Amino acid sequence: MPYLLLVAPVFGQYSKMTDLFESEEVLEMQLAFSFKEVRKKKEKKDRTPTVMLFSESKNEWDSLAVEVRARGNFRRKTCFFPPLKIRIKKKIRKGGIFENHKNLKLVLPCNDSQGKDDLLVKEYLAYKLYEVFSPYYFKTRLVDLNITDVSGRQPKTYAVKGILIEDDKLVAERFGGKLAKDVQVNPFRLHDTTAVQHDFFQFMIANTDWSTVAQHNSTLMMVGRKYIPLPYDFDMAGLVDAPYSVVNESLPIATVRERLYRGVCFDPGVFQQVRAGYLEKESILWETFEKNTTLLNSKEVNNMRKFLEDFFDILKDDRKFNNQILGACRSIN
For residue 298, what are the contacts with CB-CB under 8 A and spacing of at least 6? none
Q: What is the C-alpha separation between 290 and 293, in angstroms, rounded?
A: 6
Q: What residues pair up with 48 in beta bridges, in sequence order?
A: 68
- What is the percent of the chain with per-residue pLDDT over 90, rounded to a whole number? 84
Beta strand spans in 71-174 (E): 84-87, 103-107, 140-149, 156-166
Higher-confidence residue of 104 and 18: namely 104
Task: For residue 289, give the nearest of 115, 136, 124, 119 by alpha carbon.
Answer: 124
pLDDT value at position 57? 77
Q: What is the dihedral of CA 194, 195, 196, 198, to 10 degrees?
A: 80
Residue 17 pLDDT level (bands cut at 50, 70, 90): low
Chain-wide mean pLDDT for the chain? 93
227 to 39, 98, 212, 218: CA distances (angstroms): 33, 29, 10, 12
Residue 74 pLDDT level (bands cut at 50, 70, 90): confident
Q: What residues pair up with 218 in beta bridges, in sequence order?
A: 231
Residue 58 pLDDT level (bands cut at 50, 70, 90): confident
Q: What is the C-alpha separation between 118 and 104, in angstroms, rounded?
A: 22
Q: What is the C-alpha separation between 90 and 236, in angstroms, rounded?
A: 35
The pLDDT of residue 13 is above 70: no
Higher-confidence residue of 18 and 209: namely 209
Q: Count Cα atoms within 13 angstroms, Cβ side, for 113.
A: 10
Q: In which region does residue 294 sit, left (phi positive, over 0), alpha (psi from -120 to 50) or beta (all else)?
A: alpha
pLDDT digits 0-9 by tens, 116-158 = 999 999 999 999 999 999 999 999 999 999 999 999 889 999 9
95 to 92, 280, 292: CA distances (angstroms): 9, 41, 29
| C-beta separation of 276 from 98 below 8 A | no
| C-beta separation of 222 from 274 below 8 A | no
pLDDT value at position 81? 94
What is the sign of the dihedral through the CA atoms of 14, 15, 16 and 17? negative
pLDDT value at position 9? 45
Q: Which amino acid is at 189?
A: R
Q: What is the C-alpha separation between 71 and 83, in angstroms, rounded?
A: 6
pLDDT digits 0-9 by tens, 157-193 = 999 999 999 999 999 999 999 999 878 889 999 999 9
Q: Count Cα atoms within 13 angstroms, Cβ side, for 188.
A: 2
Task: For residue 79, give the nearest of 195, 158, 153, 12 by alpha carbon.
Answer: 158
Kindly state the helix (H) or strand (E) to which residue 64 belongs, with its residue range.
strand 62-70
| C-beta separation of 321 from 275 below 8 A | yes
pLDDT value at position 256? 98
Q: What is the C-alpha separation between 55 and 26, in angstroms, rounded?
A: 10
Q: How many residues does the chain have?
A: 333
Decide: residue 266, CB within 10 A, 0-12 exposed, 13-18 middle, 19+ buried.
Answer: buried
| C-beta separation of 208 from 172 below 8 A | no
pLDDT digits 0-9 by tens, 240-292 = 999 999 999 999 999 999 999 999 999 999 999 999 999 999 999 999 999 99
The pLDDT of residue 306 is above 80: yes
pLDDT digits 0-9 by tens, 202-254 = 999 999 999 999 999 999 999 999 999 999 999 999 999 999 999 999 999 99
